Amino acid sequence: MKDVKCKLVETEEELREAYSIRHEIFVKEQKLFLGSDRDEFDTHAIHIIAFHRDRVVGVVRVYETEKDMWFGSRLAVLKPYRGRIGKVLIEKAIETVKRRKAKRFMAYVQPLNVPFFRHCRWKSVGEIVPYLGVPHQLMEVQLQLFTTEIAKEERLNKMMIFLMLCVLSALYGELL
């Protein structure tokens, strides 16, 4: 979807919108939580939101549990946008943890969503287990499979340095 943008949450208003979507999905629709789905990870998580035009339509959070080990969770997309936004949020989550030098990136996924995550190149780890009292599959993505914006930026920086060296070399050669 071309008119979808993802970004890291920067303001209190964006965080309120992210929590609102999570509440709609996890408390009201799926009834996984009573009252609120917020937990101890929210305070240090990086929250990511997806916009369609000017409306926040999806959210995911990522957080480090131990050195270089990251988890993604609370992936939530409003009903009218499902099937179009989740992949973009997952890609932004992968980019985000790669920028922070993650070695591993995992998530507990509801069984219904496992095929979607497999389509996004995640692999199952072990058997389905209860998580939050509901069956979930632990999944992991091999971060080295993804060429993200970071790699593109690094290649561009190397090309710029090479071009600058060529120009300097030519100028220096002319000065001798």
Domain boundaries, the chain: 4-145, 147-176
What CA–CA distance (Å, rounded) separates 70 from 76? 18
Give the pLDDT confidence score for residue 3 in this predicted structure.
83
Helix, coil or strand: residue 23: helix
What CA–CA distance (Å, rounded) separates 151 from 153? 5
Give the pLDDT confidence score for residue 153 in this predicted structure.
62
Query: Shortest CA distance to 9 belongs to which of 52, 53, 58?
Result: 58
Give the pLDDT confidence score for residue 96 in this predicted structure.
96
Give me the torsion for CA of 25, 56, 61, 10, rounded to 10°: -140
Could you identify the residue written with the tokens 């930026």? 153
Give the pLDDT confidence score for residue 147 in this predicted structure.
66
Polymer length of the chain: 176
Give the pLDDT confidence score for residue 159 in this predicted structure.
74
Which residues does the chain have with pLDDT short of 50? Answer: none
Q: Which one-letter amino acid corresponds to residue 13?
A: E
Give the pLDDT confidence score for residue 145 in this predicted structure.
80
pLDDT digits (tens, 9 = 90+) for 140-149: 999 988 765 5
Q: Indicate the class that CATH gives domain 4-145.
A: alpha beta
What CA–CA distance (Å, rounded) separates 4 from 82? 13
